[in-house]
Amino acid sequence: MTQHEAAGAIGQRNWWQRNWKWAVPVIGLSLLGLMAAAIFGLLSLVSGMMRSSEPYRHALAEARASAEVVAALGEPIEAGFMPSGNININNDAGEADLSIGVEGPDGEATVYVEATRKRKRWSYQTLVVALPDREIDLLANAASADGAEDGDDTDVRKSGAAKPLDTN
């Protein structure tokens, strides 16, 4: 072995020794990006499950149908990105406690929902739209409106239970 070959063998560095200065930040940022994507995916999944629940859909439908809420927020009334709270369903029973941010062209509000499910039927204890200056009780509004109508679901609406969905 010549002196030149010996010097080349000693001074030769492997890939990691030559590239660690840029590889470490790239690997770190890649891991950070993967963690952020996983968290966003999990939040989107949970939000989607809450949005597809009956209490969530019923609360938004009632808020959009309320003349008092429409007068305060304007139209269209849209839901915020992430509802908060919890929904627990076990077979035919369950409970829901949600707060749903809503907004319209004229303002923002929060819809609060507390409901229980027995024998596959939801009944609502709380269904309130909280505006900055007042609260609108959608259950009281629905009960008074149903009391004035002649319909076969009057007792259901007065109790705060959801109307059955048309499956046709």
**Domain layout of the chain by residue ranges:** 14-52, 54-159
- pLDDT for 1 equals 55
Do residues 43 and 72 touch, judged by C-beta distance below 8 A? Answer: no
0.85 cut: is pTM over it?
no
Secondary structure tally for the chain: helices H, strands E: 6, 6
| pLDDT tens, per residue, the chain with 168 residues | 565 565 555 678 899 999 999 999 999 999 999 999 999 999 888 888 888 899 999 999 999 999 999 999 999 999 988 899 999 999 889 999 999 999 999 999 999 999 999 998 999 999 999 999 999 999 987 666 655 454 433 233 333 433 333 433
- How far is the C-alpha of 158 from the C-alpha of 152, rounded, in Å? 12
CA atoms within 13 A on the CB side of 66: 25
Strands in 64-106 per DSSP E? 78-79, 84-90, 93-104
- How far is the C-alpha of 146 from the C-alpha of 158, rounded, in Å? 7
Residue 159 CB partners (closer than 8 Å, separation 6+)? 123
